Chain A
Amino acid sequence: AQSVTQLDSQVPVFEEAPVELRCNYSSSVSVYLFWYVQYPNQGLQLLLKYLSGSTLVESINGFEAEFNKSQTSFHLRKPSVHISDTAEYFCAVSPRSYNTDKLIFGTGTRLQVFP
């Protein structure tokens, strides 16, 4: 079985400050890793993904995440946040061995950016 832990339920930061949202997972098989973002009253949007290759992946809006196999982590970082980054962020895994892309989600981290 797989599980995903997002230890921080809320992360308050000031605009232009750096931020890290932590994600750890547990799995007996190799997994694909994803970060999704949910803006208020909307569905989830893919932020970035790790499927294979370079362990550092980046999004178009300045976020990056690094897959660390030994620590089973996939932390999300941004060097300078904007007000518009205020949202809920979900880390998710999908086992490579499955014949579907079922996602196992963490409980989410609410990022609140203050001016």
Chain B
Amino acid sequence: NAGVTQTPKFRVLKTGQSMTLLCAQDMNHEYMYWYRQDPGMGLRLIHYSVGEGTTAKGEVPDGYNVSRLKKQNFLLGLESAAPSQTSVYFCASSYSRTRTGGLGQPQHFGDGTRLSIL
């Protein structure tokens, strides 16, 4: 049982390049999330998904796009990378509140992708 797996673990890009970060979970979770972590700022939500085929914007969505074509995968795309997007990116997943009787559930996190934009 791998939990939440992120690929790649490290990447260096040049300004203007594009790339896709992949998140895969094997826990049959309905909800998935992408966060970025920057020093002194904690984690901030970029985009999230409440189910296959649905996505929504979080706190800092500009410059990113996402897709959830399969329940177990959540992709984060950078179309034209900028130095301000240098960060550590975390994917997380959780059960839906419908499944848990309305109670909030903790999120399970991957180990992160460290991305540097030069």
Contacts and interface: CB of A to CB of B under 8 A. Distances in A.
Interface of A: 4, 9, 32, 34, 36, 41-46, 49, 51-52, 90, 94, 96, 99-103, 105-108
A113 B3 CA distance: 29
Contacts of A34: 106
Nearest to B98: A99
Nearest to A6: B42
Contact of B48 (A4, A51, A52, A102): A102
Given A43-B112, A44-B90, A101 B105 contact: yes
Q: How large is the interface on B (under 10, 10 to 19, 20 to 34, 35 or more residues)?
A: 20 to 34
Contacts, number: 63
B26 interface: no
A101 B104 contact: yes
Contact of A103 (B41, B43, B111): B43
Contacts of A9: 40
A102 B58 contact: yes
Interface of B: 4, 31, 33, 40-45, 48, 50, 58, 90, 92, 94, 97, 103-112
A11 B94 CA distance: 30
Contacts of B97: 99-101
Given A45-B109, A99-B50, A100-B48, A105 B104 contact: no
Nearest to A32: B104
Nearest to B41: A107
